[in-house]
Amino acid sequence: MPLSPESDHPLSVPGVVEPLPPRERVGHQLSGHLPCARCRYELRGLSIASNCPECGLPIGVTILAVVDPYAKELQPIARPLLTFAGLMLWASGAMAVAFLMWAMHLGSMVYSMFSITVIPSWWPPAICIATLLSGLGAAVLIRPHANIPRRQILAAAAATAAFLPLAWLHWDLFSNTANGLGFDYFSSRVDSERVAVRLLCGLLGVLITIGLRPNARVLVSRSLVLRTGRMDRQTMYALAAAFGVGVVGDAIQLASGGLRPVSMDVLRSIGVALSVLSAFLCTLGLVSIFVDTWRLRRAVLSEPLDLDQLIDPPKPEGSDEPRRA
């Protein structure tokens, strides 16, 4: 049975049963453009029950790999290129902010140990500009296509707007730091104002991530690869939780200010540990989102392929009116 969905072939899609051609279509020929999934040989005109004449891969395996069973349910994206560019700007801007912050921390450590200034003066404004660019890119998530629920549009719009105060807070944190951040990971006292600003940044991080998540998931759901479980990692909840850990850490540090010295030191150490953990987790989360966004490119840039487009005569333009899922 060449069309078995449980095929052990490395190119078959595990768990996808729906795109199997119905029995009455088994004798049909491929009328659409379909390169073999293994060797790219053009399979047009062959029976869907046969094998690739070049490499012997069952044509059913190629169909399983490329046909999206939900193609008709998915809304068309009006400006795919703009949408994908915005997503990449959003993800890479946020990742750039994280890396620049790490670089500033390292520069700060170098200064405190060797009194050598290694932080270029353009880094603090670069952090703010990268924050703003990330927010500009996030705007494509407000309404990526038609038929998005109103509350999801509002949530994504609020999250996008929250990048403005975030950029301003980042400027507040980093602008007066010619030689060091004054970040208190290695000092013995809490700079309350600084920690409070950082706490607000963390809160905005949580709100932005949660606000953008529903519409990001809408785009993720277009990807056959992601939907079939090969890539669903709940990256954005993990990122929101990572920001949350930092918020808790900063809150503990702020609270430790009013305590007796011994309990204060213990509490402050816990707070600092949580802040550092949060910084690591947030960086990991932002890198994961960058990777996931890049892997979405095919799902966003090209229309999902429907089985009818492959084995029936092409329909006239405009006949496949978008339906509400």
Which residues are near Zn ion by CB under 5 A?
A: 36, 38-39, 41, 52, 54-55, 57
Taking the least distance from each CB to Zn ion, the nearer of 53 and 76 is 53
CA angle 48, 54, 56 (to 5 degrees): 60
Please report how close the Cβ of residue 3 comes to Zn ion at its closest, in angstroms: 16
Taking the least distance from each CB to Zn ion, the nearer of 33 and 79 is 33
Give CA–CA dist 296/285, Å, rounded: 16
Please report how close the Cβ of residue 54 comes to Zn ion at its closest, in angstroms: 4
Structure tokens given for 170: 């980042």
Give CA–CA dist 276/209, Å, rounded: 19
Give CA–CA dist 123/95, Å, rounded: 14
Please report how close the Cβ of residue 1 comes to Zn ion at its closest, in angstroms: 19
Structure tokens given for 322: 């978008």
Cβ contacts of residue 82 below 8 Å, gap of 6+?
A: 140
Taking the least distance from each CB to Zn ion, the nearer of 64 and 286 is 64
Give CA–CA dist 213/197, Å, rounded: 24
Give CA–CA dist 132/128, Å, rounded: 6
Taking the least distance from each CB to Zn ion, the nearer of 32 and 80 is 32
* Dihedral of alpha carbons 235, 236, 239, 240, sign: negative
Taking the least distance from each CB to Zn ion, the nearer of 54 and 265 is 54
Please report how close the Cβ of residue 45 comes to Zn ion at its closest, in angstroms: 14
Taking the least distance from each CB to Zn ion, the nearer of 52 and 216 is 52
Please report how close the Cβ of residue 27 comes to Zn ion at its closest, in angstroms: 21
Asked whether 285 and 51 are in contact (CB, 8 A), the reply is no
Please report how close the Cβ of residue 43 comes to Zn ion at its closest, in angstroms: 8
